[in-house]
Amino acid sequence: MSEPLFEVTDLQVSFRGRSGPVNAVNGLSYTVMPGQVLGVVGESGSGKSVSSMGLLGLIRDRGATVTGSARFQGRELIGMPDRELRSVRGREIAMVFQDPMTSLTPVYTVGWHIAEQIRAHESISKKAARHRAIELLAEVGIPDPARRVDAYPHEFSGGMRQRAVIAMALACDPALLIADEPTTALDVTTQAQILDLMLRLRETHGSSIMVITHDMGVVSEIADRVLVMYGGRAVEAGTCREVFHTPHHPYTRGLLASVPRIGGEKLHRLPTIPGAPIASSERPTGCAFAPRCAERHDACTMQPLLTGDGHLSACWLTAPEVPA
């Protein structure tokens, strides 16, 4: 097995709340291997976006603290001075965000954005940067890139804009691309095209990808490994196949059951997970999912650990030893 590209251990992100600190991410650990696609799934509020933002110093809230370890190509990101971290952001680790409508500064052309990305990390002329921008736009499938490079974001459709954002993210050939809900704001056909594009670009640019989403469909289409998050913790992790075919955690099972299936038995109602995701400030002391879990029992008042061999799960049902 080769060296992991990115190794996160015991990540904690907490915010200053009205009554003491609130943990948004609690003891999260995962690894991304070179060339791998990791899917991080969870409902809103599960801490999935906050964890990646925290790693890269993108949480500017003064009351936020990020602790733990995040080793990227042998360098520790947490505690790295902002100046050094800046050379990682965009250069080594690029990000694509959810809403392409708002993620580009409206007053600059698409080409300007891409050129800014390149020139932030490489010293090349404006002309060369523009040339690269046109190439990148062509690569992400934007028709007539030599003309569209001078178009403003509002002149692009949502799907086109997301393509442009991806072109920008890939401009410096990053080792890792973190895509935070990259397809949520798009319609279904465009979603499939964007996922397809990302997979294709993984080949050409040699980037690993981390996809953060609430959509099991997206994960099944793109991910090699899956990490399921609930209440700021990882509750299940494994290969895509393992997690989809033999889900261990009741929460994962709930997620999978609520995805409609083509060719499956006809259901009168799609099963849902009862209750709503809990706010990070009012998590119970034990398993965070317990209040909504149909299979909870006495052990669930204690926090289960993420255990297993390869296919991990944080649930007393699958734990090797259950506390008395």
Partner 1 sequence: MLGYTIRRIGAALFVLWAISVLVFLIFFATPGVDPAARIAGRNADPATLEQVRRSFGFDAPITTQYLKMMNHLFLERDLTSFVNRGSRVVPQITDALPATLSLVIGAAVIWMAVGIAMGTAAAAWRGKAADPVITLLGILGVSMPVYWLGEVINLFTQSRMHETVFRWVPPLGYVAPTENPWQWFLHLIFPWLSLAVLYAGIYARLLRGELIGALREDYVRTARAKGISERRILVRHALRCSLIPVVSLFGLDFGALVGGAGLLTEVVFGIPGIGHLTYNALQNLDLPVIMGTVMYAAFFVVLANAAVDLFYARLDPRVRHV
Instruction: Name the site residues for partner 1 (rule: CB under 8 A).
Output: 56, 58, 82, 86-91, 94-95, 97, 99, 102-107, 116-117, 120-121, 152, 154-155, 165, 168
Residue at token pair 């669930």: 300
Inter-helix orientation angle 158-169/126-139, to 10°:
120
Shortest Cβ 262–partner 1 spacing (Å) = 34
Alpha carbons 100 and 104: distance in angstroms, whole number = 7
Nearer to partner 1, 115 or 273 (CB): 115
Nearer to partner 1, 179 or 255 (CB): 179
Shortest Cβ 27–partner 1 spacing (Å) = 25
Q: Residue 129 carries which DSSP code? A: H
The burial class, CB within 10 Å (0-12 / 13-18 / 19+), for 314 is buried
For the chain, first and last CA: distance in Å?
38
Alpha carbons 133 and 196: distance in angstroms, whole number = 21
Query: Could you tell me which residues are beta bridge partners of residue 7?
Result: 31, 71
Alpha carbons 55 and 27: distance in angstroms, whole number = 13
Nearer to partner 1, 116 or 135 (CB): 116
Shortest Cβ 77–partner 1 spacing (Å) = 13
320 with 305: CB under 8 angstroms? Answer: no
Shortest Cβ 89–partner 1 spacing (Å) = 4
Nearer to partner 1, 94 or 129 (CB): 94
* One-letter amino acid of 223: A
Shortest Cβ 57–partner 1 spacing (Å) = 8
Shortest Cβ 211–partner 1 spacing (Å) = 16
Nearer to partner 1, 86 or 205 (CB): 86
Nearer to partner 1, 7 or 99 (CB): 99
CA dist list (Å): 10 to 30, 280, 298: 9, 17, 26
Distance of CA 97 to the CA centre of its chain: 9
Shortest Cβ 282–partner 1 spacing (Å) = 26
Shortest Cβ 31–partner 1 spacing (Å) = 22
Q: Output the six-digit token pair for 33.
A: 């291997």
Q: Which long-range contacts (C-beta less than 8 Å, at least 24 apart) are formed by 123-126?
A: none
Strand bridging mode 176-180 / 65-72: unpaired
The torsion angle over the Cα atoms of residues 242, 238, 197 and 52, rounded to 10 degrees, is 150
Nearer to partner 1, 161 or 233 (CB): 161
Shortest Cβ 221–partner 1 spacing (Å) = 24
Alpha carbons 157 and 186: distance in angstroms, whole number = 10
Nearer to partner 1, 121 or 292 (CB): 121
Nearer to partner 1, 107 or 294 (CB): 107
